[in-house]
């Protein structure tokens, strides 16, 4: 890692800490993700989903993995650097995005997804934090959970961010499809309009409940797992009527509302693919006349937007060794359900998101706050240091000698480096 000097820490995720760094040989600014767990053998690194998937995915809207370096049993991913993530952009935003801006972002996201799904991968953890943005270009990042479509179910090792989690995953279906990414796209699309998450569940049950409040109860004749909703939530789910999405997202055009509705379908089979989305009229609207914002719900510009907790599904924890999260010791348990059922009063409308009528009583509504609370072995001796370069634009260092444990991929060019503690000396790495 001696050719990289870290500049600042820019992200701290579940699997790794991300630093902005400079390549001293080329002066290129990069993002270095230092994985939190140790990696003692090179094969283990190359089996990581992030490596396996990104190595195959080459698209302008998918983050580029330039190099993988293992040094002192620590693993570093070198990515192209992006200036922002969509979460920060939304949090800091003072005014809503225009529909034109949203179209631009969504088109790119969908194009990246078309490529990913066509390449037989699905992401499984799409969320605003994993969408990186520089100069209006958006790129999908964090492939730590990516899976091959063809890989055999059951998929029991799923760890994703609750607010963007598809109902079939919440309902513990063990064989889900790329349609779970499309659900997340629907939730992100809605959020781009309101700058607030559409389904800010505080626990898995609360998550399902909030989905019910917006979509209404699922039709179990069409969607097999739907009957679990009633069992899990201990409610007569048939009584929950859908909310009017146009009330929840008053600044969205009818085309946008229609697309969100399709993407956020209970039944994964009803969700459009990324390719189909790009054909949706939402992407062909030239002019749009904003609707009157006279609804009880006013769009709340909320800069104190919080992050969802990341949950580890500990009872379903995979025994597979290639999962980056196996090294984690931190588990955040789902918080208890905190559904607030209040009477619909004008005075609270600014802070509350209207959800749906409840139990057929017109004056009763279910709300949740638009201002959720903030929550959001011994070291083995040094044996080798090596890296793989994924981009031909990076000059290869030829220092050092190949180690016997070195792993060579047919399509990649190994780039062996001498061991160095230079990167760690910057005081950023743990």
Looking at the chain, the number of H-run helices and the number of E-run strands are: 12, 15
- The interface mask with ligand ATP, positions 143-172, x = CB under 6 A, is -x----------------------------
Give the three-class secondary structure for 314: helix
The HSE-up count of residue 86 (CA atoms within 13 Å, CB side) is 29
Asked if 75 interacts with ligand ATP (CB under 6 A), we say no
315 vs 307: CA distance, rounded Å: 24
Whether 295 is a known active-site residue: answer no
Cβ at position 175, least distance to ligand ATP in Å: 23
Ramachandran category for residue 211: left, alpha or beta (phi over 0 → left; psi -120 to 50 → alpha): alpha
Cβ at position 347, least distance to ligand ATP in Å: 37
Asked if 11 interacts with ligand ATP (CB under 6 A), we say yes
Q: Which is nearer to ligand ATP, 10 or 386 (CB)?
A: 10
Give the three-class secondary structure for 387: strand
Q: Which is nearer to ligand ATP, 134 or 279 (CB)?
A: 134
State the catalytic residue, choosing from 125, 181, 313, 323. Answer: 125
Q: Which is nearer to ligand ATP, 132 or 229 (CB)?
A: 132
35-64: b or e for each residue (b if 16 or more CB lie within 10 Å)? bbbbbeebebbbebbbbbbbbebebebbbb
Compute how many residues bind ligand ATP; rule: CB under 6 A. Answer: 22
Q: Which is nearer to ligand ATP, 11 or 216 (CB)?
A: 11
Burial of 380 (0-12, 13-18, 19+ CB in 10 A): exposed
Asked if 141 interacts with ligand ATP (CB under 6 A), we say yes
Hunting for tokens 């990581």 — which residue is that? 48
Asked if 16 interacts with ligand ATP (CB under 6 A), we say yes
Q: Which of 1, 4, 6, 15 binds ligand ATP (CB under 6 A)?
A: 15
CA 29 to chain centre: 24
Considering only residues 277 to 336 of the shown chain, the ones binding ligand ATP according to CB under 6 A are 310
What's the token pair of residue 425? 């000396």
Q: Which of 31, 46, 146, 353 binds ligand ATP (CB under 6 A)?
A: 31
Q: Which is nearer to ligand ATP, 65 or 366 (CB)?
A: 65
Asked if 128 interacts with ligand ATP (CB under 6 A), we say no
Cβ at position 300, least distance to ligand ATP in Å: 24
Instruction: Say if strands 29-38 and 352-358 run parallel, antiparallel, or are unpaired.
Output: unpaired
Q: Which of 74, 99, 142, 357 binds ligand ATP (CB under 6 A)?
A: 142
From 116, 99, 231, select the one nearest 180 (Cα to Cα): 116
In the complex, the residues that contact ligand ATP under the rule CB under 6 A are 10-11, 13-16, 18, 31, 33, 63, 79-82, 85, 129-130, 132, 141-142, 144, 310
Q: Which residues are catalytic?
A: 125
């Amino acid at each position: 890692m001696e050719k990289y000097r870290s500049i600042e820490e820019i992200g701290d995720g579940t699997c790794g800490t991300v630093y902005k760094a400079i390549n001293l040989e080329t002066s290129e600014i990069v993002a270095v993700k230092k994985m939190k767990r140790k990696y003692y053998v090179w094969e283990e690194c190359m089996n990581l989903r992030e490596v396996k998937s990104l190595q195959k995915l080459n698209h302008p809207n998918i983050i580029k993995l330039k190099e993988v370096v293992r040094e002192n049993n620590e693993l570093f991913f070198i990515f192209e650097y992006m200036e922002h993530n969509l979460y920060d952009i939304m949090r800091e935003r003072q005014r809503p995005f225009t529909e034109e801006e949203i179209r631009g972002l969504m088109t790119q996201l969908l194009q990246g997804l078309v490529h990913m799904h066509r390449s037989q991968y699905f992401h499984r953890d799409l969320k605003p934090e994993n969408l990186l943005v520089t100069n209006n270009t958006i790129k999908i990042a964090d492939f730590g959970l990516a899976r091959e479509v063809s890989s055999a179910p059951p998929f029991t090792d799923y760890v994703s961010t609750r607010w963007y989690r598809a109902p079939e995953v919440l309902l513990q279906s063990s064989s889900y499809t790329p349609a779970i990414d499309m659900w997340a796209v629907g939730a992100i699309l809605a959020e781009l309009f309101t700058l607030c998450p559409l389904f800010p569940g505080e626990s898995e049950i609360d998550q399902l409940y909030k989905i019910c409040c917006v979509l209404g109860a699922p039709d179990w004749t069409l969607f097999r797992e739907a009957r679990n909703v009633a069992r899990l939530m201990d409610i007569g789910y048939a009584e929950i009527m859908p909310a009017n999405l146009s009330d929840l997202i008053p600044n969205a055009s009818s085309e946008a509302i229609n697309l969100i509705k399709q993407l956020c379908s209970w039944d994964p089979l009803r969700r459009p693919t990324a390719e189909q989305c790009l054909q949706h009229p939402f992407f062909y609207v030239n002019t749009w006349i904003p609707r009157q914002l006279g609804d009880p719900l006013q769009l709340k510009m909320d800069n104190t937007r919080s992050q969802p907790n990341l949950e580890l599904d500990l009872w379903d924890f995979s025994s597979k060794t290639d999962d980056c999260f196996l090294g984690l010791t931190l588990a955040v348990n789902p918080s208890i359900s905190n559904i607030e059922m209040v009477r619909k009063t004008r005075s609270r409308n600014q802070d509350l998101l209207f959800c749906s009528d409840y139990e057929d009583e017109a004056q009763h509504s279910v709300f949740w706050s638009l201002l959720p609370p903030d929550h959001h072995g011994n070291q083995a001796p040094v044996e080798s240091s090596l890296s793989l370069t994924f981009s031909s634009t990076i000059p290869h260092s030829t220092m050092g000698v190949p180690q016997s444990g070195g792993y060579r991929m047919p399509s990649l060019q190994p780039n062996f480096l001498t061991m160095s503690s230079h990167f760690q000396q910057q005081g950023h790495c743990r």
